[in-house]
C-alpha cells in the first residue's frame, strides 16, 4: 500500500497541543517493548526489542510487519514500554508544581471559591473573544497565581501545606519527599470541572498524564542505525538511551517482584527517572549529562528539535530542499541584469515539471529522446502520480505512452524563471526572480549591476537558486518577485540596481562634452550594446550616442555628482525630448542607491524600460572604457609640494596649541584636545581637496563622478591619517603612564596618545603602525559582536510580524484584528515615490 493512499485531506481549523494518555500511547503502539536486546545471533531484529520490525524498517530488503511497506513508503510506527514505577515528564515539572500548589492536597479542588469561579468562566470567554488565546492564557496565569496564595481550601476547609520544588524534579511536602506515584495520586484527584481554570483540557491533557506510567517508544525510522565499513551496526543515540531505559526498567521490575530492600528499589527508580529525563532532554540543569563511553554527549529528543540545527529551523523551515542548487558566484557583465548564469551541470540535474499539451508535446518528446544529453528530460509523471525515470531501456515505451496530461520533468532552459537568493536574507529583495541563462563553467553568474540588493560581492560568496514547481509560483516570480519590478527599494525609494565603478567611469567619459566618435566606432559601440538604429552622420558626440538609449518623450533635469565639486554647465544634467543636452551622466543619475535618472525612469516608464536602459548603458560604458582606457598608478596619489607643506604646517600649529593647553591644564583639557584633533582632520581634508583640484587625474575623476572612493578615503592615503580613537576617546596611557616605551611617561601630547602623522602612501613607522592597529582591532571586535546581536533581533522581529497581512482594502490585519486601517497610515508604495518624498 502506497504511503500517500492513506492520507485524509481536511481543512485545518486549529491546532491544540496536549499530553498523551497511557491509553492513547498503548492504542497508537504497534508493539510492547519487552526486551533490551536489539538483534539475535544472526543479526535479525529481536521481537519485542527496540529494533522490532513492527516499529518500522531501515534496511532496503525488509518489509514492515505493521504496514507491509518497504523502506520507501514505511513512515515508522510507535511502540510502548510499561514502566515498573511512574516517572516524571521533565518538561512538565513547572506545570506539575503549579498544579500541586493551586489545588487542595485533600479534596483536589482548585483553591478558589465557587463564587469567583462562576464569574471566571464568563470572564475567560469574554477575554478569549476580545484578546484571543494569548489573552485567555494571561488570565489563567492570574487565576493560578491567586490560587497558590490561598492557605485554606474553600471547599473542604483543610489547611494547605505548600509543596516546594528542589530542582530538577524533587517535590517536598511538609518536610517529606513526594515520589512520582504520590504526585500522580494527587493529580488524579483534580476534577475535570476545574481543569479549564488551570489551562488544561480534560480530553487532551489530564494532569496525571504528565507523569509517565507508559513510555512511548519512537519508530526506528527516526533513529536508524549506521552500518560501518566493517559491516557492524552503530546504533543511534536515541536507541542507546532507550536501551538504558528498558534495562533499568527490567531490573526495577525484577527487584520489586523479588521483594528487594526499599533502598535498592529507590536507587533503581531514581536511575530510571534519570534515563527518561536525559532521553527527553540531555541538558537539564542539575542533571548529569548522559555521554558515550568516549565522553561525547548523547544527542537526544530535545537536541534534535530545538535550535538553529534542529528539526524546525534546520530542516522544516530550511531551504536545503529538492529542486534547488548552490554555487559560488562570479560576475558576468555580458548577461542581462535580470538573468542568472546557470552552469550546464546544474541545468541538466535540476528539473522543471512541464505539463504536456497538444501544443508542446512534440517538443517534450524531443527532450525525452535526448535524455542523456542537453536539453533533456529526466522523469515522466503519469496522471495518476506514478513517476517514471527515463533510461535507455525505458525511453521507447515512455515516448509511446506520453500524451497530453502527463508531466515531463525537463532540464532548465534559457528563459526559465527561477528564484535567486543570498543569505543572510535580511530584506525582501534578498530573494528575487531571474531568467535562466545556461552557461559553461561551474559558478553562478550575476550581472554586477544586480549585486547590491543581495549585498553580494565576488570574494567567495555563494548563492542559491530555487527552480519553481508550480504555475502559481512561476507567475509570482515572473510578475511580482522579478528583479525588473524591484529596481527601486521599498525602503527609501532609491534604485538598488544601477551602475557602479567601471560603468560610471565609462558613462562619464562617454557623456563629456568633448567626446566625439567616428561612424565606424559608433557602429561597434551600438552593436555591442544591442542598439539597432540607422546612422546618418560621419561623426557623433558621446551625448548623442547616450541619447539613443532614452525614451523619445523623456524630459529630466538633475545634478550630477560633479556638481558637489564644480558648478560649471557640465555639472547639471538636462534631458529634453529624449536628448541629453548638457551634463555628465555619473553616479548621481545612474548609480546604485543614488541614481535620480533611474528612479525617474522606473516611476514614469516601469521596470521593463528601466532594466533595458541599465543593460544597454552598462555595455555602452564598458566598451567606452575599453576604447578610451582608464589607468591609475601610485603617482595619482602625489599631492603638490605646496599642499604637503600646508598639511605639515597644520599639524605643527595643532601640536603647539595642544602643548599650550597642557601647560594651562584644566579638567576639560582632554575634550578640548579631541575637538582640536577633529579640527586638524578637517583642515587636512580641505587642503587635500584643493591639492587634488590642482593635479587632476584618473583617481580624482573616480571620486568626482562617484565611481569609487571619496575625499574621506583619499586624504588619509595621500595626506595624513590623524588621531586614532578607542571607544571614541584618545588612547589612554598604559599601566606605566605611557602607551609604549618610545614615549616619556605622562606625556599627553598628540603623538604619544595615538596621533598618526604619516599617510598610507608613504607608510607608517613601527610606533604609528602599532597604535593604528588598536582602532582596527576595536572595529573588528565591534563587528563580530554586533552581527549576531542584530541578527537575533531581526529574527525575533520578523517572527513577531509574520502574521501581519495587508488586506484588499489596504488595512493591516493580524487574524481578525485590525492593526492599521491603512498600511503605513497612507497606503503608498515608497518604491513609486520621488526618492521617498510624496510630493502631494
Q: In Å, what is the CA distance from 747 to each residue of 356, 657, 732, 757?
A: 84, 15, 11, 17
In the prediction, which pLDDT does 832 show? 80
In the prediction, which pLDDT does 838 show? 66
Of the CA atoms within 13 Å of residue 521, those in its CB half-sphere come to: 16
**Is residue 15 in a domain?**
no
CATH number of the domain within which 284 lies: 4.10.860.120
DSSP 46: P
**Is residue 655 in a domain?**
yes
CA dihedral 51→53→58→61, nearest 10 degrees, is: 130
Say yes or no: 334 and 433 in one domain. Answer: yes
The whole domain housing 164 covers: 90-215
Quick one: pLDDT band at residue 514, thresholds 50, 70, 90? confident
Contacts of 114 (CB under 8 A, 6+ apart): 154, 155
Beta bridge partner(s), residue 226: 234
The candidate with the shortest Cα–Cα distance to 487, out of 635, 592, 623, 632, is 592
Say yes or no: 547 and 687 in one domain. Answer: no
Say yes or no: 234 and 380 in one domain. Answer: no
DSSP 698: H
Contacts of 313 (CB under 8 A, 6+ apart): 307
In the prediction, which pLDDT does 4 show? 53
Strand order across the beta sheet in which 387-389 lies: 351-355, 407-411, 377-381, 387-389
Say yes or no: 302 and 341 in one domain. Answer: no
In the prediction, which pLDDT does 204 show? 92
Say yes or no: 203 and 222 in one domain. Answer: no
Quick one: pLDDT band at residue 1, thresholds 50, 70, 90? very low
Strands 211-217 and 377-381: unpaired
Q: Is the dihedral of CA 372, 378, 382, 383 positive or negative?
A: negative
**Is residue 588 in a domain?**
yes
Determine the average pLDDT of the residues in 214-241. 89
Whole-angstrom distance, CA of residue 767 vs CA of residue 741: 10
Strands 431-439 and 339-343: parallel
H or E element at residue 625: helix 607-628
Q: Is the dihedral of CA 483, 485, 487, 489 positive or negative?
A: negative
Say yes or no: 396 and 511 in one domain. Answer: no
E strands, 367-519, are 377-381, 387-389, 407-411, 417-421, 431-439, 444-446, 462-467, 516-518
H or E element at residue 582: strand 579-582
In the prediction, which pLDDT does 718 show? 87
In the prediction, which pLDDT does 546 show? 92
Peptide bond into 168 cis (omega under 30): yes
CATH number of the domain within which 653 lies: 1.10.132.30
Provide the number of structural domains found in the chain.
Answer: 5
CA dihedral 507→510→512→513, nearest 10 degrees, is: -150
In the prediction, which pLDDT does 824 show? 87
**Is residue 561 in a domain?**
yes
Which grid cell sits at 173? Answer: 511536602
Which grid cell sits at 807? Answer: 488586506
Whole-angstrom distance, CA of residue 417 vs CA of residue 471: 11
pLDDT in tens, 315-359: 888 767 889 999 999 999 999 999 999 999 999 999 999 999 999
The candidate with the shortest Cα–Cα distance to 99, out of 159, 18, 185, 186, is 186
Quick one: pLDDT band at residue 734, thresholds 50, 70, 90? confident
Whole-angstrom distance, CA of residue 655 vs CA of residue 781: 31
Of the CA atoms within 13 Å of residue 226, those in its CB half-sphere come to: 7
- Residue ranges of alpha helices (H) inside 402-540 are 471-479, 502-510, 519-529
Whole-angstrom distance, CA of residue 325 vs CA of residue 322: 8
Q: Is the pLDDT of residue 836 over 70?
A: no
Widest distance between CA atoms in the chain: 113
CA dihedral 80→82→86→91, nearest 10 degrees, is: -10
Q: Pick from 612, 628, 644: which residue ends a domain?
A: 628
In the prediction, which pLDDT does 364 show? 93
- Burial of residue 726 (CB within 10 Å: 0-12, 13-18, 19+) is middle
Q: Is the pLDDT of residue 191 over 90?
A: yes
Determine the average pLDDT of the residues in 458-467. 94
Share of the chain above pLDDT 70, in %: 98
Quick one: pLDDT band at residue 415, thresholds 50, 70, 90? very high
Which grid cell sits at 32? Answer: 510492547
The candidate with the shortest Cα–Cα distance to 109, out of 217, 192, 11, is 192
Q: Is the dihedral of CA 6, 12, 17, 20 positive or negative?
A: negative
| Higher pLDDT among residues 200 and 701, named by residue | 200
Contact, 86 vs 212, CB < 8 A? yes
- Burial of residue 272 (CB within 10 Å: 0-12, 13-18, 19+) is buried
Say yes or no: 741 and 754 in one domain. Answer: yes
**Is residue 10 in a domain?**
no
Q: Is the pLDDT of residue 740 over 90?
A: no
DSSP 264: H
DSSP 497: S
Contact, 53 vs 59, CB < 8 A? no
CATH number of the domain within which 595 lies: 1.10.274.100
pLDDT in tens, 781-835: 988 888 889 888 988 998 899 899 999 999 999 888 899 999 988 888 888 877 6
Say yes or no: 545 and 532 in one domain. Answer: yes
Quick one: pLDDT band at residue 839, thresholds 50, 70, 90? low
**Is residue 137 in a domain?**
yes
- Residue ranges of alpha helices (H) inside 72-226 are 93-102, 114-148, 180-188, 192-195
Quick one: pLDDT band at residue 752, thresholds 50, 70, 90? confident
**Within the chain, how many helices (H) and strands (E) appear?**
23, 29
The candidate with the shortest Cα–Cα distance to 361, out of 410, 394, 315, is 410
| Helix/strand/coil for 817 | strand
**Is residue 461 in a domain?**
no
| Higher pLDDT among residues 658 and 111, named by residue | 111
Say yes or no: 183 and 254 in one domain. Answer: no
The alpha carbon of 102 is separated from its chain's Cα centroid by a whole number of angstroms, namely: 43
Quick one: pLDDT band at residue 7, thresholds 50, 70, 90? low
Whole-angstrom distance, CA of residue 596 vs CA of residue 495: 8
Contact, 151 vs 105, CB < 8 A? no
Report phi then psi at 756, rounded to 5.
Answer: -100, 115
| Higher pLDDT among residues 737 and 126, named by residue | 126
Contact, 340 vs 444, CB < 8 A? yes
- Burial of residue 788 (CB within 10 Å: 0-12, 13-18, 19+) is exposed
Contact, 44 vs 255, CB < 8 A? no
Contact, 206 vs 324, CB < 8 A? no
Of the CA atoms within 13 Å of residue 525, those in its CB half-sphere come to: 30
**CB count in 10 Å sphere of residue 767:** 16
Whole-angstrom distance, CA of residue 693 vs CA of residue 675: 28
Which grid cell sits at 778? Answer: 576595536
Q: Pick from 769, 799, 823: which residue ends a domain?
A: 769
Say yes or no: 204 and 265 in one domain. Answer: no
Beta bridge partner(s), residue 755: 723
Q: Is the pLDDT of residue 765 over 50?
A: yes
Say yes or no: 226 and 203 in one domain. Answer: no
CA dihedral 784→786→789→792, nearest 10 degrees, is: -80
In the block, which residue shows the cell 545612474?
590
| Helix/strand/coil for 621 | helix
Q: Give exposure, 206-239, as e/b (b: 16+ Cβ within 10 Å).
A: bbbbbbbbbbbbbbbbebbbeeeeeeebebbbbb
Q: Is the pLDDT of residue 840 over 60?
A: no
Q: Pick from 769, 790, 810: which residue ends a domain?
A: 769
**Which of the residue ranges 549-558, 723-732, 765-774, 827-836 would you say has the lowest mean pLDDT?**
827-836
Contact, 443 vs 497, CB < 8 A? no
Whole-angstrom distance, CA of residue 184 vs CA of residue 211: 6
Contacts of 113 (CB under 8 A, 6+ apart): 154
pLDDT in tens, 369-394: 998 899 999 999 999 888 899 999 99
**Is residue 182 in a domain?**
yes
Q: Tell me how far apart the terminal alpha carbons of the chain are, to the nearest angstrom.
A: 66
Say yes or no: 364 and 349 in one domain. Answer: yes
Amino acid at each position: 500500500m502506497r504511503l500517500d493512499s492513506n492520507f485524509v485531506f481536511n481543512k485545518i481549523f486549529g491546532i491544540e497541543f496536549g499530553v498523551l494518555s497511557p491509553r492513547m500511547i498503548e492504542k497508537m503502539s504497534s508493539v510492547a517493548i519487552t526486551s533490551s536486546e536489539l538483534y539475535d545471533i544472526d543479526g535479525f531484529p529481536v521481537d519485542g526489542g527496540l529494533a522490532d520490525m513492527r516499529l518500522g524498517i531501515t534496511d532496503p530488503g525488509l518489509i514492515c510487519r505493521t504496514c507491509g511497506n518497504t523502506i520507501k513508503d514505511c513512515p515508522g510506527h510507535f511502540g510502548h514500554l510499561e514502566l515498573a514505577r511512574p516517572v516524571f515528564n521533565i518538561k512538565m515539572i513547572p506545570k506539575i508544581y503549579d498544579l500541586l500548589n493551586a489545588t487542595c492536597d485533600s479534596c483536589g479542588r482548585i483553591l478558589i471559591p465557587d463564587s469567583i469561579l462562576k464569574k471566571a468562566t464568563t470572564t475567560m470567554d469574554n477575554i478569549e473573544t476580545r484578546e484571543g488565546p494569548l489573552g485567555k492564557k494571561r488570565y489563567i496565569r492570574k487565576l493560578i497565581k491567586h490560587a497558590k496564595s490561598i492557605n485554606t481550601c474553600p471547599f473542604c476547609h483543610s489547611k494547605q501545606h505548600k509543596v516546594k520544588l528542589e530542582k530538577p524534579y524533587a517535590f517536598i511536602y511538609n518536610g517529606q519527599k513526594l515520589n512520582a506515584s504520590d504526585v500522580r495520586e494527587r493529580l488524579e484527584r483534580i476534577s475535570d470541572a476545574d481543569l479549564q481554570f488551570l489551562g488544561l483540557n480534560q480530553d487532551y491533557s489530564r494532569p496525571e498524564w504528565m507523569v509517565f506510567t507508559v513510555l512511548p517508544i519512537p519508530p526506528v525510522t527516526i533513529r536508524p542505525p549506521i552500518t560501518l565499513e566493517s559491516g557492524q551496526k552503530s546504533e543511534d543515540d536515541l536507541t542507546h538511551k532507550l536501551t538504558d531505559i528498558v534495562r533499568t526498567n527490567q531490573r526495577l521490575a525484577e527487584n520489586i517482584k523479588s521483594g528487594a530492600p526499599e533502598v535498592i528499589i529507590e536507587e533503581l527508580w531514581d536511575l530510571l527517572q534519570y534515563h527518561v529525563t536525559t532521553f527527553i532532554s540531555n541538558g537539564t540543569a542539575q542533571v548529569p549529562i548522559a555521554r558515550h563511553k568516549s565522553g561525547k554527549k548523547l544527542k537526544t529528543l530535545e537536541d534534535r528539535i530545538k535550535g538553529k540545527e534542529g528539526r524546525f529551523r534546520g530542516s522544516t523551515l530550511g531551504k536545503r530542499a529538492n529542486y534547488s542548487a548552490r554555487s559560488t558566484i562570479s560576475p558576468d557583465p555580458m548577461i542581462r541584469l535580470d538573468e542568472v548564469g546557470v552552469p550546464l551541470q546544474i541545468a541538466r540535474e535540476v528539473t522543471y515539471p512541464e505539463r504536456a499539451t497538444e501544443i508542446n508535446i512534440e517538443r517534450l518528446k524531443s527532450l525525452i529522446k535526448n535524455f542523456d544529453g542537453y536539453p533533456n528530460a529526466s522523469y515522466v509523471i503519469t496522471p495518476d502520480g506514478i513517476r517514471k525515470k527515463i533510461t535507455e531501456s525505458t525511453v521507447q515505451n515512455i515516448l509511446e505512452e506520453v500524451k497530453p496530461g502527463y508531466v515531463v520533468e525537463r532540464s532548465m532552459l534559457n528563459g526559465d524563471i527561477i528564484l535567486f537568493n543570498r543569505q543572510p536574507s535580511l530584506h525582501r529583495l534578498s530573494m528575487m526572480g531571474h531568467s535562466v541563462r545556461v552557461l559553461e563553467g561551474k559558478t553562478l553568474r550575476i550581472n554586477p549591476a544586480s549585486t547590491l540588493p543581495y549585498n553580494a560581492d565576488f570574494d567567495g560568496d555563494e548563492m542559491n537558486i530555487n527552480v519553481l514547481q508550480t504555475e502559481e509560483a512561476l507567475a509570482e516570480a515572473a510578475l511580482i518577485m522579478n528583479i525588473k519590478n524591484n529596481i527601486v527599494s521599498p525602503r527609501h525609494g532609491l534604485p538598488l540596481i544601477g551602475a557602479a565603478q567601471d560603468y560610471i567611469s565609462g558613462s562619464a567619459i562617454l557623456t563629456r562634452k568633448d567626446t566625439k566618435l567616428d561612424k565606424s566606432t559608433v557602429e561597434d559601440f551600438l552593436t555591442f550594446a544591442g542598439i539597432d538604429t540607422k546612422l546618418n552622420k560621419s561623426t557623433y558626440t558621446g551625448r548623442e550616442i547616450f541619447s539613443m538609449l532614452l525614451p523619445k518623450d523623456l524630459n529630466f533635469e538633475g545634478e550630477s555628482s560633479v556638481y558637489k565639486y564644480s558648478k560649471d554647465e557640465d555639472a547639471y544634467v538636462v534631458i529634453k525630448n529624449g536628448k541629453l543636452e548638457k551634463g555628465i551622466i555619473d553616479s548621481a543619475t545612474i548609480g546604485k542607491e543614488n541614481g535620480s535618472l533611474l528612479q525617474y525612469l522606473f516611476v514614469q516608464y516601469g521596470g521593463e524600460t528601466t532594466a533595458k536602459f541599465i543593460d544597454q548603458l552598462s555595455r555602452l560604458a564598458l566598451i567606452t572604457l575599453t576604447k578610451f582606457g582608464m589607468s591609475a598608478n601610485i603617482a595619482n596619489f602625489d599631492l603638490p609640494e605646496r599642499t604637503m607643506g600646508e598639511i605639515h604646517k597644520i599639524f605643527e600649529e595643532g601640536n603647539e596649541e595642544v602643548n599650550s593647553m597642557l601647560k594651562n591644564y584644566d579638567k576639560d583639557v582632554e575634550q578640548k584636545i579631541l575637538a582640536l584633533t577633529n579640527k586638524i582632520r578637517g583642515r587636512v581634508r580641505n587642503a587635500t581637496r584643493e591639492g587634488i583640484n590642482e593635479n587632476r587625474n584618473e583617481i580624482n575623476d573616480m571620486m568626482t563622478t562617484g565611481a569609487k572612493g571619496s575625499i574621506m578615503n583619499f586624504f588619509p592615503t595621500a595626506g595624513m591619517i590623524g588621531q586614532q580613537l578607542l571607544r571614541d576617546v584618545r588612547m589612554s596611557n598604559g599601566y606605566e603612564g605611557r602607551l609604549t616605551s618610545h614615549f616619556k611617561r605622562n606625556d599627553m601630547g598628540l603623538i604619544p596618545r595615538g596621533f598618526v602623522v604619516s599617510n598610507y602612501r608613504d607608510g607608517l613607522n613601527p610606533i604609528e603602525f602599532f597604535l593604528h592597529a588598536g582602532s582596527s582591532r576595536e572595529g573588528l571586535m565591534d563587528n563580530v559582536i554586533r552581527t549576531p546581536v542584530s541578527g537575533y533581533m531581526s529574527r525575533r522581529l520578523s517572527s513577531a510580524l509574520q502574521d501581519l497581512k495587508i488586506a484588499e482594502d489596504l488595512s493591516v490585519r493580524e487574524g481578525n484584528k485590525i492593526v492599521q486601517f491603512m498600511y503605513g497610515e497612507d497606503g503608498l508604495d515608497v518604491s513609486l515615490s520621488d526618492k521617498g518624498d510624496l510630493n502631494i
